[in-house]
């Protein structure tokens, strides 16, 4: 994050590379209701498979994006996303 990050941007995680390096995971909710989830890492996708903390943060953020306000309070923490049945493919 930098001084240019919008007010209210939340730092969710920061890498611990030497010399204060490392990626950051940030989340921002705009007053309009939109939201941004930003990950600055070239190894983010691979980390989803082996790092439980990265996987949990990602699951919670994505669940927040698809949450139906009629079923829960927006912003409520999500511990686990239930698996759904088989998905239909297009075509």
Do residues 10 and 27 lie in contact, with contact meaning Cβ atoms separated by under 8 Å? yes
Q: CA-to-CA distance for 13 and 50, rounded, in angstroms?
A: 16
Could you give phi then psi for residue 4, rounded to 5 degrees?
-90, -5
> Burial of 59 by CB count in 10 Å (0-12 exposed, 13-18 middle, 19+ buried)?
middle
pLDDT in the model for residue 30: 86
Domains of the chain, by residue range, sit at 10-66
The reported pLDDT for the residue numbered 77 is 47
Condensed to tens digits (0 to 9), the pLDDT of residues 30-79 reads 888 788 888 888 888 888 888 888 888 888 888 888 875 554 554 444 44
Q: pTM of the entire structure? A: 0.60
Query: Which one has a higher pLDDT value, 73 or 15?
Result: 15
């Amino acid at each position: 994050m930098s001084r240019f990050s919008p007010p209210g941007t939340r730092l969710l995680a920061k890498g611990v590379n030497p010399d204060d390096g490392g990626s950051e995971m940030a989340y921002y909710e705009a007053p309009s209701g939109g939201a941004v989830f930003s990950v600055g890492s070239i190894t983010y996708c691979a980390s989803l498979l082996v790092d439980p903390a990265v996987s949990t943060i990602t699951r919670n953020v994505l669940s927040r994006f698809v949450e139906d306000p009629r079923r829960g309070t927006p912003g409520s923490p999500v511990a686990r996303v239930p698996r759904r049945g088989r998905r239909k493919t297009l075509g």
